[in-house]
Copies of this chain bind each other. A is one copy, B any other.
Amino acid sequence: MSNLKARMTIDPAYRLAETDPRIYGSFIEHLGRAVYGGIYDPGHPAADEDGFRQDVIDLVKELNVPIVRYPGGNFVSGYRWEDGVGPVEQRPVQLDLAWRSLEPNRVGLNEFARWAKKANSQVMMAVNLGTRGIEEAKQIVEYCNHPGGSYWSDLRRKHGIEQPHGIRVWCLGNEMDGPWQIGRKTADEYGRLAQEAAKVMKWVDPSIELVACGSSGSKIATFPDWERIVLEHAYDEVDYLSLHTYYGNRDGDLANFLASSLDMDAFIRTVVATCDFVRAKKRSNKTIYLSFDEWNVWFHSNEADKQVEPWQVGPPLLEDVYTMEDALVVGCMLITLLKHADRVRIACLAQLVNVIAPIMTENGGPSWRQTIFYPFAHASNLARGVVLHAPVESPKYDSKDFTDVPYLEAVPVWNEAAGELVLLAVNRAEEPLALDVDLRGFPNARSKEHIVLTHPNMKAVNTKDRPDEVVPQKRSIGAVDAGRLSVELPALSWNVLRVRV
């Protein structure tokens, strides 16, 4: 019997927003072994005719990732995209200053677009606003999206890509506020550059959507004035503002770590407020939406990375091995994103393969699912449809950095087409939690499935040799009785409750 009890009310009349499928996006950067040794490994037994690992593609499909941001990240701020197109043997090897690695340019935008198609994904392309300006931004859109008959579109066709890539979402640089960025900008510098780049890019292809860089994190000193200033320049020209955040359990304080998603929630609320402040100041009736295009747990590899020799191709950088507790935090972050589905239209788990990633590979060897693979796959595959406002009554706790942390983190998503209500829920408590759900308004609700991810050891991980140490389990689930569903969420667990409606 649980001592902890929580209640939720779920009513289809209280619609927050339709989830945008792109909330389940991810990210492939030219960084570490994401590309070289990750998605691309031409000598691998599972490599296809393009050198892409089929086993990795299969895992990406299992994650059901509708959009993948590319090619960076910090990398893009020094990237010359034209180095990566045309005959492979003529492509230069470049020093990538972002990660102090060697970029052989064997994979470029055309190869990546091909890979994305195989992975059932769209490309979310970033342009370099670190070392480059608006002319190059125009040229890459023309190369990618213009049908033909002009210099850059005909160059694409000469490179064997007859049809335009039709890339719809474009990032105006990456984390331009960060001192680590190649060609960092002040908020005014970046706001102006983003505005002018946006104009020329949309003149080439008015159907594209543009993401301006928000702050690289809510802890940087220029947040949230960065957002205000950037939007004061570029409000009319851009469609989304980006957010990035990463959490880690550096102090070994589990309760505090599990509460990290409250910081993410506050971050989103502040950015929404800032966007709407500028909307008022501009007397605009346009709404800026959010692209949370980097989010994850990241801290395990920090020290190891300092030992990596510079100027390698595909060095083992940012290879966090994720624990069970990391999967719970990722689950809480997914729920938080969904609870803001009215404004968050794009989100990208950073990243996808090897680099702080749900999928790991060994060069020439096997691939496997990290712990965080599971909550993402569950949400991406099942939590599509309408997010419902659902009041939660839960006992709470205080931690080092947070107060009033609810033990229960949960969000219901109603997939009307599939006739299914999915409740994603994390129990942050170290004991089971009894959840009582009032399903008012779903008169035909019938419980279907309870999937649980947990482990006796919160530090448990999946590795090449023990890839199934942490895997989800099915649990028995009681019937819906008089419109109520009672279910027990195990201690420190990720839960998916599926109800036919």
Contacts and interface: CB of A to CB of B under 8 A. Distances in A.
A192 interface: yes
A93 interface: yes
A296 B203 CA distance: 27
A398 interface: no
A102 B150 contact: yes
A97 B92 CA distance: 30
B151 A94 contact: yes
A182 B199 CA distance: 8
19 contacts: A78-B138, A92-B150, A93-B149, A93-B150, A94-B151, A95-B146, A95-B150, A95-B152, A97-B138, A102-B149, A131-B133, A131-B138, A134-B182, A149-B311, A182-B199, A182-B200, A183-B196, A183-B200, A184-B199
A199 B130 CA distance: 12
Given A97-B138, A146-B95, A78 B189 contact: no
A265 B184 CA distance: 37
A189 B192 contact: yes
Nearest to A188: B186
A319 B123 CA distance: 41
Interface string A84-103: 00000000111101001010
A142 interface: yes
Contact of A203 (B93, B97, B192, B200): B97
A133 B183 CA distance: 10
Interface in A115-141: 131-135, 138
Interface string A137-170: 0100010001001111010000000000000000
Given A183-B134, A192-B189, A97 B149 contact: no
Chain copies in complex = 3
A204 interface: yes
A142 B203 contact: no
A216 to B, nearest CB: 16
Contacts of A135: 78, 131-132
A153 B408 CA distance: 57
A280 B199 CA distance: 38
A102 B142 CA distance: 13
Nearest to A100: B203
A198 to B, nearest CB: 12
By secondary structure, the A interface counts as: mixed
Contacts of A78: 135, 138, 200
A84 B189 CA distance: 32
B131 A131 contact: no
A184 B196 contact: yes
Nearest to A313: B149
A151 B186 contact: no
A243 to B, nearest CB: 24
A196 to B, nearest CB: 6
Closest 6 A-B residue pairs measured CB to CB? A92-B151, A97-B203, A131-B135, A95-B150, A93-B150, A183-B196
A149 B92 CA distance: 10
Contacts of A189: 192
A95 B131 contact: no
A182 B197 CA distance: 9
Contacts of A151: 92-94
A12 to B, nearest CB: 43
Contacts of A199: 182, 184
B133 A95 contact: no
A189 B131 CA distance: 16
A202 to B, nearest CB: 10
A183 B196 CA distance: 6
Contacts of A183: 134, 196, 200
A97 B200 contact: yes
A77 to B, nearest CB: 10
Contacts of A102: 149-150
A423 to B, nearest CB: 48
A317 to B, nearest CB: 15
A92 to B, nearest CB: 4
A200 B186 CA distance: 17
Given A94-B151, A189-B192, A134 B131 contact: yes
